[in-house]
Amino acid sequence: MDNRDNLFEQQIRSGVENIPESLRPENMERRLSAMSQDERYNRSQSTDIPDDAEFEKIASKKKKSGKRKVVLPIAIAASVLLAAGVGAFFLLRKSGATKDTEIKGLGTTPEQNAEEVDSDENYKKAYRLLKDYKRNYVDVMYDVDYVEEADAESEAGGETLKAMNSAGATEASREASTGNEDYTDTNVRTEGVSEADIIKTDGKYIYAYEEETEHIIIYSVDNGEVSKIGTANVLEDDFYFEDMYINGDKLILMGVYDNNRYSYRNNETCISIYDISDRTNPKLDKRIKQDGYYNSSRMVGSVLYTFSRKSFDLDKIKKRKYESYIPEVDGEVMANSELIVQEDSYTDTFIVVSSVDVNEAKVIDKMAILGGSDTLYVSSENIYLADRTYNWDSFGYDDDTRLVKISYSDGDFKYEAEGDFPGYLNDDYSIDEYEGNVRIVSSYRDSDYTQYNGLFILDENLKQRSVIKKLAEGETIRSARFMGKAAYFVTFRNMDPLFAVDLSDPDNPRVTDYLKIPGFSAYMHPYGDNLLLGIGYDFTTENQLGGSIKLSMFDVSDPFDIKELDTKILYNYNSASVLNDRRAFMFNEKDGTFGFSTGAMWVYYDDDAEWYEEYYGDEYTDWADNVDFDTEGLYYEVYDYDENKGFECKMDEKLEGLYSSVLGTRGIVIGDYLYVIQSGNGIKSYDTENYKLYDECD
């Protein structure tokens, strides 16, 4: 094909016939860029392009009849062929798929790039790996005889060209839109990288999802006064709301369409963008769908990054029907160049990533990784997908995690590197990016299957730079927090060791101290200078009797001598929203108060008191004396910390709803008022001076 293209182009440029201006190669880019996608697709199906047999006839006629009689037909055919190649290249380039020389083997001329676009290497690789997965795992598990079906579809089939042509930390308290009051925002992993939640505010309005009516309720809040002013109807068949964002005058709803509730493979993630410039009458701008079940999302500025998991029915995939095994975003099959297919992958799941400009309501870029992801971490510049490797021979996890690094900027993605480390992550607080390095704490098993924990530092290419291994034998990591050049993490089995690690020299990290105390902290949050707040569970005995919520304040000013300054055990409560969802943690940087919802359900201890007292003796009696077994239901707690007084409870308010509603409750401070919002149970406001009920609205 290369020689033929070169021959055509030479003849076009040197032919004695006058070529019409519209067919000259230098005008191809302009004409193709003005075409619609359907026009480009129809052009790709044109019968004007000669096949190999037709080309031989043309060449034969040329030899017999002379050059002058055939140069115009050749020129026309060559122009169309060249147009298809150049057009495909510029279409891919416009969509961000080529990204200069990021694609392996990308050429430096339009002709070379057009040839690269014709490659479907990643499609082929994905198809082969998915078929291997089915044959070696699915069919083996279900005792199915494997039969390789014949691929009768044409190499130049319509689906091929159609698919190619489709390419195209806690945030600081913010100033409200009124300019007069500060407000607390959603608690997030990385400062400056917003996360969606079931309750949102812009400082002037509060937005909440009401599950029973399937509406977004918009409340106006003003100095503690609350009123319902608008609603957005999200009621649709087989649609399930997940969470939302507020970005200026845009309300972005994240949800899932379950097109067949009996098959997880048919789910679609839905991004609904509403214009809320008139809060009393929200209007839908656009819905953008992408394949797969909604996993998570982030927002930086006005760019939304969405992550979903997509699996396919392996019995129905066809090699040349790319939509049968390649994900779609906004109705377009992802291009070959937008796929990352890891050769040693053994899964049927893609992680689909898209970026959307919410102001323009359009997709900027997209990428899909065949490899799955257990943990997602997004720094201010990069996306990290950690996937614990699975051994299908032993039907168990291997003791390694694969890590993929993808950079992002203004919606554009670029695959950067891939690496691995021993063990697995507890959550995305166990991985951190700092000054180009990636710091990780993980739990792993050694060669003799002994449980250990370790700290690993990887460079920007995800190559191991340094390591500390064999920490806390027999325990696992329950929480971690990286704070600049220091790391703190908690392991647990019977006691709670809080480790401090000096990371100032990334080539030589060192454990400086560790502190053992009962229970463990499941969430840690920086609290002013040199203080670290821990929230977790208290266990009275090594047999883990109790399980009440525990607050701890650690002094980390001296990394060689960390101290627990104060503790407070919330004996009446055995669950807290923040321990299952960091977004539920309210932290007011203005005055240091923090809050979260709690739940109490101690009935089973009360009923079995005689047995517990006989088994645990005085240890149970001492613990039970502090518990009010009648404290059942849902509560909201607000605490403050003073270096002289320790922890001080500011609010302990019982709310409507069941114990199980703990995760659907949020607290937001706007100005001098705390607003407690319950999904489906309205909103209440409290004066932060005395935390007395001020106003409420259903």
| Helix segments in 395-491, DSSP class H | none
The residue among 413, 408, 415, 405 whose CA lies nearest residue 385 is 405
| Phi-psi category of residue 96: left, alpha or beta, with phi > 0 → left and psi -120 to 50 → alpha | left
State the DSSP code for 492: E
Phi, psi dihedral angles at 436 (to 5 degrees): 85, -15
* Secondary structure class of 96 (helix, strand, coil): coil
Pairwise CA distance, residues 84 & 362, whole Å? 25
Residues in the chain: 698
The residue among 638, 655, 623 whose CA lies nearest residue 540 is 623
Pairwise CA distance, residues 43 & 81, whole Å? 10
The residue among 65, 61, 76 whose CA lies nearest residue 15 is 76
* Residues 636 and 597 sit within 8 Å (Cβ to Cβ): yes
How many CB atoms sit inside 10 A of residue 415's CB?
A: 17
* Secondary structure class of 506 (helix, strand, coil): coil
pTM of the model: 0.78
The residue among 311, 307, 287, 310 whose CA lies nearest residue 298 is 307
* Residues 172 and 191 sit within 8 Å (Cβ to Cβ): yes
Pairwise CA distance, residues 321 & 151, whole Å? 10
Q: Which pLDDT score is estimated for 681?
A: 85
Pairwise CA distance, residues 520 & 479, whole Å? 9
Q: Which pLDDT score is estimated for 140?
A: 65
Sequence-separated (6 or more) residues with CB below 8 Å from residue 142:
none
* Residues 335 and 166 sit within 8 Å (Cβ to Cβ): yes
Sequence-separated (6 or more) residues with CB below 8 Å from residue 7:
none
Q: How far is CA 287 from the centre of its chain?
A: 19
Q: Which residues in 386-400 are b (16+ Cβ under 10 Å) and which e? A: bbbbbeeeeeeeebb
| Residues of the chain falling short of pLDDT 50 | 1-33, 36-118, 146-170, 172, 178-179
| Helix segments in 244-389, DSSP class H | none
Q: Which pLDDT score is estimated for 238?
A: 85
Q: Which pLDDT score is estimated for 393?
A: 59
The residue among 267, 414, 266, 280 whose CA lies nearest residue 337 is 414
Pairwise CA distance, residues 607 & 680, whole Å? 32
